[in-house]
């Protein structure tokens, strides 16, 4: 609510569709995220946007096979680098999932994140599901053991 107010909106300006996707009554695109003590929103008047904040934790190593082909990342130097990379990939896919708002969209089977250098802070991605496709630019920020990812529909 505080972030909405900072952007000039109130609760009355926000509604959710049947898929649970948030919308603003004035047509501005919005996405909302939270993880532990952090909360974020992203707004755009021009294009659909998605945002995700994730804590970097080793739990991601146990679930990675559910959202990405893990073998692609086995060349990373150590577990900490692998955790960082997988958290970025998860955040990218979660941000895109929020944009698409399609039930049945699989992180593993339908969302493809292009290879990227973690220090560049960006990548591209694509979606293909049931004849519906989308292209996205994804950007990353890391702070205090968290990764923020946001995606823009292009």
DSSP string, 40-99: EEEEESSS-EEEEEEE--THHHHHGGGTS-GGGGTTSSSHHHHHHHHHHHHHHHHHHHHH
What's the whole-number average pLDDT of the chain? Answer: 94
**C-alpha distance from residue 41 to each of 4, 7, 48, 127 (Å):** 8, 9, 13, 23
Kindly report the pTM of this predicted structure: 0.93
Tokens of 129: 């599901």
| Alpha carbons 86 and 32: distance in angstroms, whole number | 21
Q: What is the mean pLDDT of residues 132-136?
A: 96
| Alpha carbons 28 and 61: distance in angstroms, whole number | 36
| Alpha carbons 105 and 38: distance in angstroms, whole number | 26
What is residue 75's predicted lDDT score, i.e. its pLDDT?
Answer: 67
Q: Which CATH number fits domain 2-153: 1.10.150.120, 3.40.30.10, 3.90.470.20, 3.40.50.10490?
A: 3.90.470.20
Q: Is residue 76 predicted with pLDDT exceeding 70?
A: no
With a pLDDT cut of 90, the percent of the chain lying above it is 85
Domain map (residue ranges) of the chain: 2-153
């Amino acid at each position: 609510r505080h972030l909405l107010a900072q952007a000039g909106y109130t609760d009355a300006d926000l509604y959710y569709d049947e898929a649970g996707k948030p919308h603003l009554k004035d047509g501005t695109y919005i996405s909302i995220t939270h993880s532990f003590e952090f909360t974020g929103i992203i707004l755009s008047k021009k294009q659909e946007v998605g945002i995700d904040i994730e804590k970097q934790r080793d739990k991601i190593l146990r679930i990675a096979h559910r959202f990405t082909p893990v073998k692609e990342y086995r060349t990373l130097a150590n577990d900490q680098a692998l955790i960082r990379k997988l958290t970025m990939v998860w955040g990218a896919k979660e941000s895109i999932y929020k944009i698409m708002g399609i039930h049945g969209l699989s992180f593993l089977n339908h969302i493809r994140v292009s290879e990227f250098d973690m220090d560049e802070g960006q990548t591209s991605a694509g979606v293909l599901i049931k004849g519906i496709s989308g292209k996205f630019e994804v950007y990353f920020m890391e702070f205090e053991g968290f990764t923020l990812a946001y995606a823009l529909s292009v």
